[in-house]
Structures are given as structure tokens and as C-alpha cells.
Amino acid sequence: MSGAMLSVPRCLMEVFMPEPSVLASLVSALRSGAIEVVDLTAPLSSSTPVLQLPPEFGQTAVFELDEISRYDDRGPAWYWNNFRSGEHTGTHFDAPNHWVTGKDLADVASVPVNRLVAPAAVLDFTAEAEENPDFLVEVDHVKAWEAKHGPLPDGGWLLVRTGWDTRSHAQEPFLNADENGPHTPGLSSECARWVAQESPVIGLGVETVGTDAGGAHSFDPAFPCHSYLMGSDKYGLTQLQNLAALPVTGSVVVAGPLPIVTGSGSPARVLALVERS
């Protein structure tokens, strides 16, 4: 019997042998390094920069740890903490109900899970932001990118790289504020409207403290990325890092916010899967 099996032509054996599953192929590629996992998440600590609003408004909390026990009389064999944090502290996910335009739309716990794994396009404006911290991405910039690289991914993320993650070590350089307010790059009001209402992406990802430019308080409408994106049932990812490690197209973003019931957002672990040749 075994001899008969060995005499079967290889081409016929291949017909009866099952193909490896997609997931098995993915695991194999991850193990071999053919697919690299890039962490796009800023470390979360008490020194993580946070958004500062004018003093008449409520403020988000900085991240804090409160030790419960650490191998001591409070718990001899375990270490753990309570933590306090704003939903929009550090690398985080904006849900539609974060803004008044999306107040009747999904909270962060209701975001469909299949939207948390999506392809990404990376638009690089590092040189422009270095020259002008108030640089704004216009619709023409995006269309010029599409003319070169193809359309934005349907159901994917538009990630804007500005090099701002190099400032994330401290509050002052990250917010880059003076007496006139913060100076950080972002999208123009018209570009924000176009991304939200006309482009096929599900959301916008940035390296700055929020999806809007530092001067967006004076735009029409104010904070247009929040206003248009949230009102269009789209999402935001902010304070991303390591976008320089991603290709222009072809990466897949995995965003993992906490499913906070009624929450407007959540700190998130954001990863990218990148195929390496």
C-alpha cells in the first residue's frame, strides 16, 4: 500500500493535498519576517502630551497610574494598578459621537470590528511641515498623490505623515503653542470636507495631538476634521508614530480601542502590517 502511494505522480498528489489557509499563510509570513508588524503607538505615561483647551473649557486628564499592590502586604504575589486617563489621551481613536455633528452616531464600543482592520495610504508632508508648522493639506495635494499612486483605499485610512512624532517626547514642542495658540500641521477646511464626504476612506490618521491643525479653532467651520469626519460616521486616529516605516500603499492598519460603552473614543494600540520583499 505504501509503495502504491509513493508511485502516485506528484501532480496528482498536489490535487488531493489541501492548500494552506489564508490565516496559516499569514502566520507563516509573520514568523518569517515577510510581513513586519510596525507599532504606530506612542508609549502611554504621565509625560504623554495632551490637548490643552482654553481655560474656560473642561480639560482631558493626563495618564496616571495608581498602584494597588506590588509583591507586598497589599498583594504578596502580584503587581497591578488602577489607571486614570482621558479617552483622548495619547495615541487614540475618535468615534463619531466625539463631535456634536455625530452625536447620534456610534460610540467607540459600537464601531464595527471589521473597520478596525483596514488598508492604509500614507501621504508624506514632512518637508512642508518642517518649513511651515502651520502647513495645511489641500484637496489638490491628495489628488496629486492619487495621480501618482492610485486612488485612496476604499474602506481604508488616510494617514498624514508630517514628522511631528519626533516632538512627542514633551508637551511644549508637541503642542508648539505661543500667544496665538498651537502651530501644528493638518488639513484645510475644504480638504477635511472632501476626505469626509467624497473620499472612500473610513478615517484620518495623524501624528499630531488631534486630527485638526493647530489653528483650526479659527477655520470655518471650527475644527473641520472633527466636524466633517464625525458627522460623516468616520473616525480619527491621532498621535501616531513610525509612519516613516510604512510604504506609501499596501500596509494594513489594525486599530484597537477599548470598547467603552457610550465612550467618545479610547487610547488605542495601533499596529501596521507591512509586507517586506
Backbone angles phi, psi at 131, to 5 degrees: -75, -35
Active site residue 98: yes
Angle between helices 139-149 and 189-197 (to 10 degrees): 50
Burial of 1 (0-12, 13-18, 19+ CB in 10 A): exposed
Decide if 257 contacts 235 (C-beta within 8 A): no
Helix axes 224-231, 189-197, angle to 10 degrees: 10
The residue among 96, 47, 89 whose CA lies nearest residue 203 is: 96
The residues with which 177 forms a beta bridge, in sequence order, are 182
Burial class (CB in 10 A: 0-12, 13-18, 19+), 105: middle
Contact 160, 207 (CB under 8 A): yes
Q: Which of 88, 98, 141, 226 is the catalytic position?
A: 98
Active site residues: 98
